[in-house]
Amino acid sequence: MIAVALWSVAALLALAPAGIVLSTRPRGSIILYGGCLIATSTLCVTALSGLLYPPQLAPSAILPIGLPWLGAHFRLDALSAFFLVVVNLGGVAASLFALGYGRHEDSPGRVLPFYPAYLAAMNVVVLANDAFSFLVAWEFMSLTSWAMVVSHHRDPENVRAGYVYILMASFGTLALLLAFGLLASGAGYDFDAIRASHPSAALTGTVVILVLLGAGSKAGLVPLHAWLPLAHPAAPSHVSALMSGVMTKVAVYGFVRIVFDLVPEPVWWWSMVVLLVGGPTATLGVLYALMQRDIKRVLAYSTIENIGIIFTGLGLALAFKAEGLDWVAALAFTAAMLHVFNHALFKSLLFFGAGAVLGATGERDMEKLGGLIHRMPKTAFAMLVGCVAISALPPFNGFVSEWLIFQAILLSPQLPSWGLKLVIPAVGGLLALAAAFAAACFVKLYGISFLGRPRSDVAASARETDGFSLTAMFALAAFCLIAGILPGLFIDALAPVSKDMVGNIMPHQVGLQWLTIVPIAESRSSYNGLLVFLFAALCGTAAASAIHRLASDRLRRAPAWDCGYPDADPAIQYSASSFSQPIRRVFGSVIFGAREIGEMPPPSSALPARLKVELHDLIWDGLYAPIAKAIGFATERINVLQFFSIRRYLTLVFVALVVLLLVVAL
């Protein structure tokens, strides 16, 4: 099993240099993406078999590469198998989508060599069983994704996005390097040796903070999210889907692997830190998304929200595990892992839809779209499924995982710590607020982009996307529905992961009456996605039948009610900015530093009055801008060193030598 996985990863790595040659061939992208599709399909099937039929001992392998005295250790346990499924299911969908979308890439030579290497790096991170292999693969994942972010390097915004991204990625790698350095100080780099060690409480607490910084910077936790809304829109759409739907989950894997597996039993205050980061991340992420007009920026900020939901579930699992409530920890942990899977599905679907719209219109600005449901009906249907799923509405999959997290929140009174009893309900309120804002956000995205009338000529002339892209979107839409109406199958599949990480599992769900899921007990709560789906389908069918049978067939003609506007101009429609105006006025001054500036033309002018809105990322302005300013100031002063004479250089070397000798002597 582990051998098949490693050979598939090797095949992906072999495709990377081949991409240089294939980028110059007419059908090169089809060959490369087809090869990636085969390799990721093999990895997905292998990982799924390891998850559903786990062996007694996790298969492992050691390759004579890496550090000479260590080698490269790989292991396929339940946690690795689950995340391999997530990574490679996303890889299969992205490769299938790219078979059609990739033919329209402006610069294939800057994407094709890095795409298979990026997939291989994410797989190696999940399979690695030693710190050196993990960190090398982690950095390789960052570098290959950065190369694709700046593939359109002639756009200054893309270059800036790549610059910010590589800085944040380097910071995250440094934090993880320090965390592994502390863990390996008394044990070595091998994960098995780290598990067997017994570090002090102070050391493990420091490691948890460092891992939260390192993995959180890659996942997009606030305030480490600055790169994400810049880099995801800059990359090609199938790469954006992988970065948002898959790479952020690799970051979640890194956090879970270290905090739940490599360090000893958790302490209650670890969960406080994670919860106080996860809850605000969810709410701020969706608030930022609501204010955007760019479809891909909306989706990027929405990823921040969902990462906040996942880390909230992980924080709950840490809290309950630390207090000995393993059965509730299993509920919270399973909910977080289920949301990892669900978000990978519907976020990839939505990025594919955004890519289809971009390919058909050349626009990402919602203010220049509209009416696409008539010109791209299949894409519109798939996007509707994704919008409903990400809004956590039944019977789709987003509802199930968020509902399970709320079930765990409702059990927080059983915790003995008063700090957790106060923090967890507050975080639950933030998640409820985020869920409401998410629904509003995706009503806005879908309504402005696909409904109404075209707001530009490119929207009016749009055409449906290619068959490969539609197949990928409809496959993910089907998965969103299946995971929503049959969640018990997926919950039971996660049982080995929960058992290994928190020591307990949720009650067995398959076999319950009508495929109902019961997270705790029937007297407390239960949910049946299949019945909800059947009820909605029957009610919709009955309503449509009644309308067609009972409605009058007499033709009546009358002028349409125009709300006082006789000119049916698309410009009088609701815009993306006006849709979010009420929420912006409530939260804007506090969260975004929003300012509304009215532009009133002179009385003799026929031009309409305009309202200009200025929004600011206060975290960027308050945290990152001062750091950048201080570094710029320091580098300008240090820059004079390169103009010194040879005598001054020798003097500096002598002074440095004296200082070092004094330090060693002391």
pLDDT tens per residue across span 65-78 = 877 778 889 999 99
State residue 365's pLDDT score.
87
pLDDT exceeds cutoff 60 at 566: no
Summarize pLDDT for 91-110 with one digit per residue, the tens: 999 999 999 887 777 666 67
pLDDT score recorded for residue 28: 80
Question: Given a cut of 90, is residue 525 above it in pLDDT?
Answer: no
Query: Can you tell me the mean pLDDT for 554-568?
Result: 64
At which residue do the structure tokens 């909230």 appear?
312
Q: According to the model, what pLDDT value does residue 565 have?
A: 57
Q: What is the pLDDT of residue 189?
A: 84
Confidence of residue 57 (pLDDT cuts 50, 70, 90): confident
Percent over 70 (pLDDT), the chain: 94
Please state the pTM of the whole predicted model. 0.91
The residue among 46, 28, 149 whose CA lies nearest residue 91 is 46
- In the prediction, which pLDDT does 608 show? 62
Tell me what pLDDT residue 579 has: 78
Higher pLDDT, 252 or 57: 252
483 pLDDT band (50/70/90 cuts)? very high
pLDDT the model gives residue 242: 93
pLDDT at 183 over 70: yes
Q: Which two tokens stand for residue 288?
A: 């930022």
pLDDT for 19: 85
Angle at which helices 467-485 and 326-361 pack, to 10 degrees?
160
> How many CA atoms within 13 Å lie on the side-chain side of 616?
14
Mean local confidence (pLDDT), 501-527 = 81
State residue 606's pLDDT score: 63
- Give the pLDDT score at 555: 66
Mean pLDDT lowest among 275-284, 454-463, 615-624, 628-637? 615-624
Q: Quick one: average pLDDT of 640-665?
A: 86
| Cβ atoms within 10 Å, residue 106 | 10
pLDDT band at 380 (very low <50, low <70, confident <90, very high): very high
What ranges in 291-417 are assigned the alpha helix state H? 295-322, 326-361, 372-375, 377-390, 397-409
Residue 592 CB neighbours (<10 A): 18
Length of the chain in terms of residues written: 666
What pLDDT is recorded for position 215? 93
600's CB contacts (< 8 A; 6+ apart) are 609
